[in-house]
Amino acid sequence: MTSKARAGSTKTDKVATKAAQAESPKPRKQIEKSDGEKLSEMELSLTVLWNSVRRWLGQRSNANAVNGLSDLDVFLLHLLVYRNKPLRGIDLAFALSIDDLHLVSYALKKLAKLGMISSGRVGKEVFYEATAKGRENYDEFISDRERYLEPAMGFLQKSDIDIEALNLALRTLSGIYEQAARAAASARGI
């Protein structure tokens, strides 16, 4: 190739490179989000997470021998097994941050009717605890969780996300939202 041909080729290459650069999208500057936008994204993520957890509990429950347990039923049963001691309905409602005690009472009656929990009186108070059938359901849940959910969570360990720190952050957020709810209710005179 002659030196003129090489020079022309280089010039053509430069023109082609400039044309390609002009056509390719330029990286946009990252627009800084406001605190409100960041908070909205977090709330959306938490809502999607909550609905996904409820779907997991519902699908897992429907595939089980004891069909038709709601997510609240499952949470209450698991809390009784996990705490491994008799608890009052109000204790369970408090632990799950549920204001409507009648929802908890209804779920506890349903679980008792299914033989998953038993109740006993101590004075005027009614205490609930998981039965062998309830513990068996919980053990099956743990087995399903180990099979379907935990392998998918492997990315957390690979990305150095500390589950305990995440749990602490979520509990802290719960407290912040509880306090904000009380402040808003107080401001409205409720």
Residue 184 lies in a domain: no
| CB neighbours of residue 66 within 10 Å | 19
Q: Could you tell me the residue range of the domain that residue 95 belongs to?
A: 67-165
Residue 4 lies in a domain: no
Please, which residues have CB within 8 angstroms of residue 82's CB and are 6 or more apart in sequence?
A: 138
Total structural domains within the chain: 1
Q: What does the alpha-carbon distance between residue 93 and residue 177 come to, in Å, rounded to a whole number? A: 17
- The per-residue pLDDT string of the chain (190 residues; one tens digit each, 9 = 90 and over) reads 555 555 555 666 665 556 555 565 666 667 888 889 999 999 999 999 999 999 988 888 776 666 778 889 999 999 999 999 999 999 999 999 999 999 999 999 999 999 999 999 999 999 999 999 999 999 999 999 999 888 888 887 788 888 889 899 999 999 999 999 999 999 988 7
Residue 108 lies in a domain: yes
Q: What is the DSSP string of 8-71?
A: HHHHHHHHHHHHHHHHSPPPPPPPPPPHHHHHHHHHHHHHHHHHHHHHHHHHHHHTSSS----H
Q: At 155, which CATH number? A: 1.10.10.10
Please, which residues have CB within 8 angstroms of residue 136's CB and are 6 or more apart in sequence?
A: none
Residue 50 lies in a domain: no
